[in-house]
Amino acid sequence: MTPPKWPALVEDYLALRHNLGFDVEQLGWLLRNFARYAERTEHRGPLTVDLAVRWALSSGPGDPARGERRLWAVRQFARHRAVFDPATEVAPAGLLGRIPGRKPPHIYSDAEISALLRECSRLRPRGGLRPMTYVAFFSLLASTGLRLSEARRLERRDVDLAHGVLTIRMSKFRKSRLVPLHPTSMQALTGYAARRDALPDAPRSEFFFRTDRAPALDRFAVERTFSAVRRRLGWTAHGRVRRPHIHDLRHTFAVRRLVRWYEQGVDLDRKILALATYLGHAKISSTYWYLSAVPELMAVHGQRFEQFARRERESAP
């Protein structure tokens, strides 16, 4: 009997994870890449540490922690495979180094957000749907703090422009939620939708965001576009805590909201519950973490965050 090929084994594992409620988008991309590598190198037999390490290091030089992050993905898959094939080897944690802790976010200034949107408006094709889409897309991320995957998966039915509410379906942790929109965001999305539908040559799609040729925004197309825009703007890590990323728009939204509440003298412990729900955090400690990104708030709330995080750990099953 011919053993299953690596792509099939990976898809079975991802389907299991997905059905258990885990977000498998990033893990899926890595493991599918690993499966193609295993097929290309004609690996036969059980999964080995040697195969996992060779693939983890095959992406080339760059971030020193990249190899260990890639190896982490295969390690999860190997533990699963070991249940069915005891000869499977599981790479020990830290084999390729240590994955650093969560880095402080870059908080965008108003000028940087304006520059990002202005550069997106200059994308090609000039006058086409693509520049309009990316202006609207990154504007939405900045004004709502949505995750990249949440925004790009929005369907037409999820965007209620009459009432100003987004429906985020089965997002991270397999939860759904409603996200109210500010009137300015409603106005911007309404204008985008009208221009999108007025272009006769653009493909029809159930997704809210699309381009001239694609019926939906692909994650890696978005990341490539952002990287190109970042290069044109000359954004580097120089003078910043790190080089700006797309996810930093989410950080920026959360931090600005916290700063505004702090300046207004409101009870952050009460307000932060609403922010956690709005952002779709599974644990409120994830929302409290944003306080550590703002020096003015760290001294006031650092001890409170540690106390809350400790209580959450102690109450965990």
Q: Do 153 and 226 belong to one domain?
A: yes
Classify residue 1: in a domain, yes or no. no
Closest listed residue to residue 256, CA positions, set 300, 303, 290: 290
CATH number for 213:
1.10.443.10
Whole-angstrom Cα distance, residue 231 to residue 228? 5
Assess if residue 52 is contained within a domain: yes
Tell me the per-residue pLDDT of 141-170, one tens digit each, with 9 for 90 and over.
Answer: 999 999 999 999 999 999 999 999 999 997
Residue 150 and residue 137: Cα distance in Å, rounded? 11
pLDDT at 170: 76
Task: Report pLDDT digits (tens) over 172-211.
Answer: 667 899 999 999 999 999 999 999 999 877 777 999 999 9
H or E stretch at 178: strand 177-180
Structural domain includes residue 101? no
Task: Please give the structure tokens belonging to residue 284.
Answer: 């409120």
pLDDT for position 159? 98
What is the model's pLDDT at position 290?
81
Q: Is residue 97 part of a domain?
A: no
Per-residue pLDDT tens for 272-288? 899 999 999 988 888 88
What pLDDT is recorded for position 136?
98
Query: Do 114 and 196 fall into the same domain?
Result: yes
Q: Which domain holds residue 254?
A: 248-315
Contact 168, 176 (CB under 8 A): yes
Tracing tokens 């084994």 back to the chain, one arrives at 9
Query: Closest Cα to residue 192, out of 119, 107, 131?
Result: 131
Average pLDDT over residues 15-40: 88
Please indicate whether residue 100 or residue 93 has the higher confidence score (pLDDT).
Answer: 93
Q: What is the pLDDT of residue 201?
A: 75
Asked if pLDDT for residue 317 goes beyond 70, the answer is no
Confidence of residue 39 (pLDDT cuts 50, 70, 90): very high
Show which residues are catalytic: 147, 172, 245, 250, 281, 290
Work out how many domains the chain is built from and give that number.
3
